[in-house]
Structure 1
Amino acid sequence: MARRARSLGWHGNALLVRRDIEWTEAHALDLPMIEPRGAVLAELALDGKTIRVLGTHLDLSGLRRSDQVKALMAHCAERPRMPTVIMGDFNQWGRHTGAMRVLGVKWQVVTPGASYPAARPVARFDRIVTTPDWDLLEGGVHHSATAARASDHLPIWAELKLHKKRAIA
């Protein structure tokens, strides 16, 4: 939810986790911003392994987007190394341009398809970014009338599988 009195509306991030998955940590993260955008971080126990998941909504203007990605990377670097997935609205046109360049080669970028605007999607702003611990099995954009009414973005999804051997990033 919005944290500043002068906010231009309600903003926030949420991670929805199945009941059978245990969360061990959860934090709201402040990111460098003009508008109140941020991220949420959770560490989850899944099949005997701990994974990190972040949901984010980056700067619309582009003025702070690279700083925000750097802040996400710093939050991950401050914590123990583990398989990580970052997902959300990156507000970045190119898959390897602008703020996406901050990710370097240590992160995999999944762009399942055009998801914005929901009524007639042409832009691929919504992405899933992973450490090399993951294989992408499948991914896509969920198209439905209900999804198009719920948000100005269509939901994206990916089926990921952890490598049996842990990659080193």
Structure 2
Amino acid sequence: MSNHADLLHVVSYNIRKAMGTDRRRDPHRILTILREAAPDIAILQEADLRLGQRPTALPRDAIEDAGFVPAALAENTVSLGWHGNAILIRPDWPVMSIDRIVLPGLEPRGAVAAVVDSPFGPLRIVGLHLGLLRRSRLGQQHAVLDWMADQDDHPTIIAGDLNEWSARRGLGPLTRKFGLRSPGHSYHARWRLAPLDRIGMSDHFEMDDLDMIDTNLSRMASDHLPLSAKIAVRRAP
């Protein structure tokens, strides 16, 4: 186990547009969970509403009150992210770059990537929400890896709702690069059907602790439970 000061804390959370399992849309429940978890970085899926200009499901002023700054994806200030994917970062860690990754498939899908200037050095954070069909998911994984092959080599965390119900199949491309991890069945928040949510790391890291945030509030706030990862950064010899 590593000293707490040496750990990177990441939360990955499909917030379902702040629609709870009680059929109430309440963004403040989501932000309470994130504020109490206090991660360095929060990787969100379904962070924007689907209709119209896809406005954010989380009020921007409330995000700042919770202690985070969104990684800006465009001049569009209506949406929080892109294809619902968003990255929230602690305010004292500057964002060095932000990119969209186009993903193939029958459904509109995308991923987001940000390079963050952290005390550990530059870190790349990739957030994604893969498609419902396995064939699409495989193509989308290859698209992410192809995009990364053209980028600078930074220590990388990749996380999101990967929509893969199997614990053993379907995520081979990403697993070979990142060694994806799941703490258990994070979906459905009440009935625990499948390990849809995963976190992966490049070999610059090792997992110190990985769990789900499982509380009365989190079982009500979304149909997914958030993942909470404490990650140690391997120091060069």
Give me the TM-score of the superposition, normalised by structure 2: 0.63
Gaps of 5+ in 1: none
Q: How does 1:71-86 map to 2 (within 5 A)?
A: 71-86=143-158
- The aligned amino acid for 1:142 is I
Does the 8 Å CA contact 1:4/1:36 hold for their aligned counterparts?
no
Task: Establish whether residue 57 from structure 1 lines up as the match of residue 129 from structure 2.
Answer: yes
Corresponding residue SS for 1:59: coil
Q: How does 1:12-161 map to 2 (within 5 A)?
A: 12-47=84-119, 49-98=121-170, 100-103=171-174, 105-161=176-232
Calculate the aligned-residue CA RMSD, in Å: 2.3
Determine the C-alpha separation between the residues in 1 that align with 2:193 and 2:101.
29
Corresponding residue SS for 1:106: helix
Percentage of identical aligned residues: 32
Determine the C-alpha separation between the residues in 1 that align with 2:142 and 2:157.
15
- The aligned amino acid for 2:139 is D
Corresponding residue SS for 1:81: coil
Gaps of 5+ in 2: 1-47, 58-82
- The aligned amino acid for 2:218 is A
Q: What's the CA shift string for 1:95-134, capped at 9, x where partnerless?
A: 4412x11135332211122100111113111000111110
Give the aligned length.
162
Q: What's the CA shift string for 1:127-159, capped at 9, x where partnerless?
A: 001111101000101112332333221111110
Q: What's the CA shift string for 1:58-95, capped at 9, x where partnerless?
A: 00122300000001111211100111011001111234
Determine the C-alpha separation between the residues in 1 that align with 2:168 and 2:156.
19
Larger helix fraction of residues: 2
Gap change, CA 1:39 and 1:161, over 3 Å in 2? same
Determine the C-alpha separation between the residues in 1 that align with 2:182 and 2:191.
17
Higher RCO, 1 vs 2 (CA within 8 Å, ≥6 residues apart): 2
Gap change, CA 1:2 and 1:67, over 3 Å in 2? farther
| Shift >3 Å, 4+ stretches | 1-5
Determine the C-alpha separation between the residues in 1 that align with 2:219 and 2:143.
31
